[in-house]
Amino acid sequence: MPIPDIDKIKQRYEGYLRIEKGLSSNTAAAYCRDVDHLARYLAQENKSLDTASEQDLEGFLATLHDVGISARSQARIISGIKSFFKYLEMERLVDANPTQLLPSPRIGRHLPEVLTLNEIDRIIDCIDLSHPQGQRNRAIIEVLYGCGLRVSELVDLKLSQIFEQDEYIVIVGKGDKQRLVPISQEALMQIGLYLEQTRSNQVAKPGCEDILFLNRRGNKLTRVMIFYIVKELCELAGIKKTVSPHTLRHSFATHLLEGGANLRAIQQMLGHESIETTEIYVHIDRSTLRQEILTHHPRNKSMHNS
């Protein structure tokens, strides 16, 4: 049966969560955001909440995995969606509950970790800016976390790929596919300080003249060196999790999604194509991508609130 006025249903559902289930305002709001993510995905598949099948929901979960959302966050989103459909069933607004057999992802020690906002701040606070490479490392962390780059994309990033006026960088990802990724004012500022304080005084080795991040000898940084930088900073910050540069990419995706960003926008920013079919890949223009970052990325929120 068709669901009448989904916005009103969500308002009633949020009230039900807060009053009858005793959830906090933040938790109830998070559950409603989970419903919004699902509704947007279904709309892009020409489906709706009242016509969603178990297969549709599995496609939604596959897309969450495809953009790098952690298993723990996936499990929380599934919990929110199951709760919503139970409410619809209780209110007799759906004929069948498609979430009954929906599995939650296994949450094991081998799965990638996600850093909290506090842990990200602790890592940044541990960077010794008096050290010759301190400002470079600060810029590296801001770009890894602020843009969700793969470590290979970071070490290959060129000065000519940074468009400061437009607040974009051009990334060459897997299969030599190019994508535009918004970059925050904070990350641009840290890059600018690095260029001014360190990079401008270096002599780049032949072939590395256009490379952004260089080592002390003027060569391009290696993937191993980035791993070492991240590991050392995490140890200084007292973080016991198993962390790698890819953890910052997972954290980028997870924090954006939990902040309410559009799933397809995250997918395009990460350079992932849909694992379903190329037909469901939705083009999102540059202004939309930039707005998703400015609105939902926690590093930008902290800047605007300061």
Catalytic-labelled residue, pool 179, 205, 281, 301: 281
Catalytic-labelled residue, pool 150, 199, 250, 297: 150
What six digits make up the tokens of 39? 């509704």
Query: CA nearest 5: which of 57, 13, 274?
Result: 13
CA distance 242 to 228: 13
Count Cβ atoms below 10 Å from residue 207 Cβ, excluding itself.
9
Catalytic-labelled residue, pool 12, 21, 174, 241: 174
3-state secondary structure of 237: coil
Decide: residue 210, CB within 10 A, 0-12 exposed, 13-18 middle, 19+ buried.
exposed
Catalytic-labelled residue, pool 76, 255, 264, 272: 272
* 13 has catalytic annotation: no
- In order, the DSSP letters of 14-34 are HHHHHHTS---HHHHHHHHHH
* 246 has catalytic annotation: yes
* 281 has catalytic annotation: yes
CA distance 188 to 194: 10
3-state secondary structure of 4: coil
* 110 has catalytic annotation: no
* 150 has catalytic annotation: yes
* 255 has catalytic annotation: no
Catalytic-labelled residue, pool 199, 249, 264, 290: 249
What six digits make up the tokens of 138? 């600060």
Structural contact between residues 68 and 270, judged by C-beta atoms closer than 8 angstroms = yes
The region, left, alpha or beta by phi > 0 then psi within -120 to 50, assigned to residue 206 is beta
Cα dist from 282 to 5, 10, 83, 174, 180, whole Å: 25, 26, 28, 19, 15
Catalytic-labelled residue, pool 33, 86, 246, 301: 246
Count Cβ atoms below 10 Å from residue 54 Cβ, excluding itself.
14
Q: Give the HSE-up count for residue 254: Cα atoms under 13 Å, Cβ half-sphere.
A: 22
What six digits make up the tokens of 210? 């256009």
Catalytically active residues, by annotation = 150, 174, 246, 249, 272, 281
